[in-house]
Amino acid sequence: MAHAVKRLFPSVKIAIGPSTDEGFYYDFDIERPFTPEDLEKIEEEMKKIIEADIPFVRKEMDREEAIRFFRDQGQSYKVELLEEIKDERVSLYQEGDFVDLCRGPHIPSTGLIKAFKLLKVAGAYWRGDEKNKMLQRIYGTAFPDRKELKRYLNFLEEVKRRDHRRLGKELDLFSINEDIGPGLVLWHPNGALIRKTIEDFWRNEHLKAGYQILYTPHIAKLNLWKQSGHWDFYRENMYSPMDIEGIEYEIKPMNCPFHIAVYKSSLRSYREFPIRYAELGTVYRYERSGVLHGLLRVRGFTQDDAHIFCREDQIEEEILRVLDFTIFILQTFGFDSYDIYLSTRPEKFVGSEEHWDRATEALKAALEHKGLGYEIDPGEGVFYGPKIDIKVKDSLGRPWQCSTIQVDFNNPERFDVTFRGHDGREHRPIMIHRALMGSLERFFGILIEHYAGAFPTWLAPVQVGLVTVADRHVEYAQKILQEMVDNDLRVEPFFDNEKVGYKVRQGTVRKIPYLVIIGDRESETGLLPVRKRTGEQVGPYKLDELIARLKAEISERRGDLSI
C-alpha cells in the first residue's frame, strides 16, 4: 500500500505502518487529505503491484547508514524512528523501487496477496500526540481468499449497524457536546433511565452481597495522591492540580484513597472482617483527544468500584466470592462468553516482590479452584498489585475489557492501615480492588452494540408502547396506560392523530419491546393483542394477564423477549 501511495503521490512522507488484529494501517504526511476517490486509485495501483509479482528483498544496514539513506530521500519520520533505535544494524525491505524500514518478515513476493480492501481514512497525530502534526491514516485488511474477505466486510457492516454512537443519537440516549468538552458524556432521558435501572440493580445486589455503599468527593488534596503513589506512577493520566486557598487539589482519577479514609475513620477489629465498600464513583482521567471514542474511551466516567479489606487468610475466599459475583452480573446483562487473564508485575511497581508473588498466587489459586481457564498477561498488572482481567465477548464475538480484580498489599502499607488482631496486636489488612462492569459509560456503550439498541425489556427505557387506532379509543387507552404505570411499567402513549402504520413504525424504529394496538375490538372485548418489535404477534391477553407476564419477564431479567 505504501508503495502504491508513493507512486501516486511522489512527495508524500511515510510514517508508521503496523499490522493490527483486524488488518493494517499506514500513516502518511501529505499536502491534502486523502479522498474516497484516492483510495480507489491506490487500490488499483496495489493491484498492478500484485500482478507484477515483485519479490520482497530483506537488506541489513548500519543504523547510521540507514539514517543517511532516508534523510537523502526526505523521509524525516523514518529518520526520527531510526535515531531512537539502539541496535547498531537495522533491517530494510525492498520491493521494486520502494524501500522501507521494517523488522519483517514478509511473504516472498507481492503475487501471493490474494484479497485485500482499503477500508477508510482517518486523521492521526504523529506518535498519538496532539502537539505533533496531523497525519493521514489509511486502514486496510487482507485475507487468503475473497470469500474470507467478503465475510469480514459483512462483519464490518454489522459492526457499523450496531455502532453505539449512531444508535445513541437515533435512540436519544446520550451525546458529547464540543462546547462542554470532548470525552464528557451527557446522558439524555432515555439513556439516564437505563443507567438508573443498571444502578438500582447494582446497588441492590451489592447490599445483598454484604457490601456497604459509599459516596466520596470528586477532588482531594494533591498530597493524598502522592501518598497513594498515583502522582508518581499515574501522573500522565491525571489533570493539572488546582489551587484552592494556597493548597493544591487534584481531581480524582481513582476512588481507593477515599475508601481507605473511610476505613481509617474508626478503629478496626479482626471480628469486622471482611469489610466491603462499594461506590459508583465518578473519576476523571486525561485521555488524549486522538484516542477518545464515544462512550468507550472518555475523560469522565463512573466506575462500579469496590474495595474489600480482609485478613490474609481470607484473600482466596473473597476472590472466589468476587469471581462468582462478577459472572452473575455479566450473565444478567447477557454476556455468557468471556476470556480471563492474570496480569503480573510490571516494570514499574511499588511494594516488595514477596508481596507481589503472594498476591499473584492468591489470584491464581482462586481461578484454579473455580476451574476457570485463563492466560498469563505478563507485566500488565497495575503499579500496586497483580490483577485478574475478564474480557466479555459480545454478540459478534468481540472481546471487551470490563471486570478486574486486584490484590493490593501496598496501599495498606502506604496509608498505615491496620486492625486489632485476636492477639491484641496491630496487623495490616489486605486490600482487594474490584470493578465488575468497569465503567458505566463504557459498559453502556458495549450493551448498546451487544443488543444493537434493542435492549431486553427490563433495561428498555420504554417497555410498552400504546397505539390508538382513532381518537375515540384514547379514553380507554388512557385507563390501560394508568394501570400499567401503577404497576411500575415504563409506557409511552402513541395517541396522536396519525395513521396506525406510522405510529407502529415509530415504535419499531425506537426498538420498543412491545406495542399494544387499541381499536374498536380491543375497547369492546378488553383483549389486547401485542406486537413484538420483531413484528411477531402474540396474545391477545386480558390487561391483568399482560401486566403479570410483563412484570415476570422484567423481574427475571430475561433477554429473550418472549412473553
> Cα separation of 326 and 307, whole Å?
14
The residues facing 464 across adjacent strands are 491, 514
* The three cell numbers locating residue 89: 544494524
**Residue (of 329, 306, 274) closest to 443 by Cα position:** 329
Catalytic residue among 268, 364, 433, 511: 433
Q: Is residue 133 annotated as a catalytic residue, yes or no?
A: no
Catalytic residue among 164, 206, 285, 533: 285
Contacts of 237 (CB under 8 A, 6+ apart): 253, 285, 286, 287
Q: Is residue 427 annotated as a catalytic residue, yes or no?
A: no
**Residue (of 211, 355, 329) closest to 274 by Cα position:** 211
**Residue (of 299, 307, 289, 306) closest to 442 by Cα position:** 299
- With beta carbons less than 8 A apart as the criterion, state whether 220 and 286 touch: no
Residue 511 Ramachandran class (φ > 0 left, ψ -120 to 50 alpha, else beta) = left
Catalytic residue among 100, 305, 389, 408: 305
Got the DSSP string for 317-337? Answer: HHHHHHHHHHHHHHHHTT---
Please state the φ and ψ torsions of residue 119, each to the nearest 5 degrees: -100, -45
Question: Which amino acid does the sequence have at 463?
Answer: Q
Catalytic residue among 268, 387, 442, 473: 387
Got the DSSP string for 196-213? Answer: HHHHHHHHHHHHHTT-EE
Q: Is residue 433 annotated as a catalytic residue, yes or no?
A: yes
Catalytic residue among 13, 206, 268, 307: 307
Q: Is residue 303 annotated as a catalytic residue, yes or no?
A: yes
* The three cell numbers locating residue 125: 497525530
* CB-based burial, 189-205: b 16+ in 10 Å, e otherwise: ebbebbbebbeebbeeb
> Cα separation of 390 and 339, whole Å?
6
> Cα separation of 104 and 125, whole Å?
25
Catalytic residue among 75, 136, 303, 406: 303
Element housing 491 (H / E): strand 491-494
Q: Is residue 285 annotated as a catalytic residue, yes or no?
A: yes
> What count of residues does the chain have?
563
> Cα separation of 439 and 446, whole Å?
11
Residues catalogued as catalytic: 256, 285, 303, 305, 307, 387, 433
